[in-house]
Amino acid sequence: RTQARASFSRVLPESGRAWAEFWTDVVEGEATTKKREDQIKVLFRNWFEKQLGENVPFDELTRRVIGAEGFIQDNGAVGYLLAYTDMQQQPDAKALASTTARVFMGLQIECAQCHDHPFADWKRDDFMSIAAYFGRAKRYQDKVDMPVSRAELEKLPEAERQKLRMEYQ
């Protein structure tokens, strides 16, 4: 018997950041679109970089991303769910189902949101089953007050001010 396990070969420190940026963009659906940069993406990318640096196998990395829970500051993998929030600020189950299938399974199943395709193996029920998994995901947000007043914040150097804003956004 032969056992295969997908894994990144030892990621060199200098390439870890590049691969983390690539995978963050792919997972968030931004590989070919305008890039955004916010606290969620930064923490998610940093988490990816750490996982790659520790040579976490791809199947384990996938489990950690898809099953992530907790606060983004404690577990950067939560950034995957948070990147797909809808207008009510809750994770969008259908977008997550489509992206999960495309990125982690190599399948394009978006069409199955609406109808069964006569030639595809995936049916609408299959798509909805994947979406149901993400339908249980909920976004909770704690309100954290800035450690300084607005007047004190304005007195800080620009770099320090931006850092504080990013941390407490």
Per-residue pLDDT tens digits of the chain, which is 169 residues long: 444 444 454 556 667 788 888 888 888 765 444 556 678 888 999 999 999 888 899 899 999 999 999 988 899 999 888 888 866 678 888 989 988 988 888 888 888 888 887 777 888 898 899 899 988 888 877 666 667 777 887 888 888 888 877 776 6
Widest pairwise Cα distance in the chain: 68
pLDDT value for 143:
66
Interacting residues of 157 by C-beta distance below 8 A, sequence separation 6+: none
Residue with tokens 């196998």: 57
pLDDT value for 7:
47
CA distances from 35 to 20, 21, 28, 29, 31 (A): 14, 11, 10, 10, 8
pLDDT value for 9:
47
* pTM summary value: 0.69
Instruction: Specify which residues 91 forms β-bridges with.
Output: 85
The dihedral through the CA atoms of 79, 16, 54, 73 has a sign that is negative
Following DSSP, what letter does each residue of 93-131 receive, concatenated?
A: HHHHHHHHHHHHH----GGGGT---SS-S--HHHHHHHH
